[in-house]
Amino acid sequence: MVRELRRVAEVVDASGDDDLIVWAAQGMKPGVRAWASGDAVAVASPAASRRDRLAVSGSAAHAIPLVRHALAESGPSFRPLGDAALVHEVVQGIDEVELIGGFSWMLTTSLTSREVVADARGVAWLGEEDEPDVTDLLKTANPDSYAMPGIPEVRRWAGIRDAGGELVAVAADAWSAPTVGLLAGVATAVSARGHGLGERVCRFVVSALLAEHGRAALMVDDWNRAAIIVYERLGFSRRGVAAAGVRVSPSGAAASPASR
């Protein structure tokens, strides 16, 4: 039997405090809905990291009918998201759902202690007056970034400026949930790469996320080995996840090729 979950504590209890599920719940802010059935949990989270996401956990036997129920309730724009093996089973079990792609969800509850003081040097939170510079840097250094200035859920940016005052590295606190902060929008100017600036600004933001939320997470494409190495050096561990989507009809809009 499917039951609707209306409070964060219910989502935490039903999912065993699964960090991906709890992050998707976004504190059960308006518009978020969640359901449980057997050992499965599904959370429909609109515009979570720029996508309507349907985070799901549990065994396939319970998750497949729960995803069907959740999609009927929330609508076809929501993308099933969860551990890769489970999402593959969901795709096999629901004809109208197709695989979009795989990537990594990374999590940490503590930073590595390597050069903590030195790594914070030169990093600061940026103000609204800095947002045009953030936008310009992202355009050249990370044009596919989901976090951008002006998006309400992108709470704040940290950055490093060089001796000439040019912004050369940034990272954002974005789409953070009460007990899972999210790192996003990481970018380093091409001319400034190879000096550890991206790692330094990430360490600064992750330290703040851990202090406020207790856990810090991020999403990264599996092909981006350079970024993954940095995140692992900071203390993050990888979890292979996948996203799926409802098939569109031949007359409908084409599905986005983006894996996340």
Say what the pLDDT of residue 251 is.
53
Residues 222 and 141 in one domain: yes
Among 187, 189, 220, residue whose Cα is nearest residue 107 = 220
- Output Rg (C-alpha) for the chain, integer angstroms: 19
Residues 212 and 165 in one domain: yes
Q: How many CB atoms lie within 10 A of CB 130?
A: 18
CATH code of 195's domain: 3.40.630.30
Residues 57 and 166 in one domain: no
Is residue 21 assigned to a domain? yes
CB contact burial 84-114 (16+ within 10 A = b; e otherwise): bebbbbbbeebeebebbebbbbbbbeebeee
Among 107, 49, 106, 109, residue whose Cα is nearest residue 79 = 49
Among 217, 244, 241, 255, residue whose Cα is nearest residue 53 = 244
Say what the pLDDT of residue 112 is.
82
Say what the pLDDT of residue 106 is.
98
Is residue 54 assigned to a domain? yes
Q: CA 198, CA 200: separation in Å to the nearest integer?
A: 5
Say what the pLDDT of residue 35 is.
98
Residues 230 and 127 in one domain: yes
Cα dihedral across residues 219, 24, 172, 238: positive or negative: negative
Average pLDDT by stretches of 10, the chain with 260 residues: 97 98 98 98 97 98 98 97 98 97 97 60 93 98 96 97 96 98 97 95 97 98 96 97 88 49
Domain range for 30 is: 3-104+241-246
Residues 96 and 153 in one domain: no
Contact between 110 and 103 (Cβ < 8 Å): no
Residues 94 and 69 in one domain: yes
Say what the pLDDT of residue 258 is.
47
Is residue 159 assigned to a domain? yes
Residues 74 and 97 in one domain: yes
Is residue 45 assigned to a domain? yes
Say what the pLDDT of residue 248 is.
78
Residues 98 and 157 in one domain: no
Continuous H helices in the chain: 8-15, 19-25, 60-74, 84-93, 116-119, 131-141, 197-213, 225-234
Say what the pLDDT of residue 69 is.
98
Say what the pLDDT of residue 119 is.
53
Say what the pLDDT of residue 246 is.
96
Residues 221 and 147 in one domain: yes
Residues 215 and 130 in one domain: yes
Q: What is the 3-state secondary structure (H, E, C) of 119-163?
A: HCCCEEECCHHHHHHHHHHHHHHCCCCCCCCCCCCEEEEEEEECC
Is residue 176 assigned to a domain? yes
pTM: 0.92
Work out how many domains the chain is built from and give that number: 2
Is residue 255 assigned to a domain? no
Is residue 257 assigned to a domain? no
CB contact burial 46-55 (16+ within 10 A = b; e otherwise): bebbbbbbbb
Cα dihedral across residues 164, 143, 111, 156: positive or negative: positive
- The pair of three-digit structure tokens given for residue 192, joined into one six-digit string: 């400034």
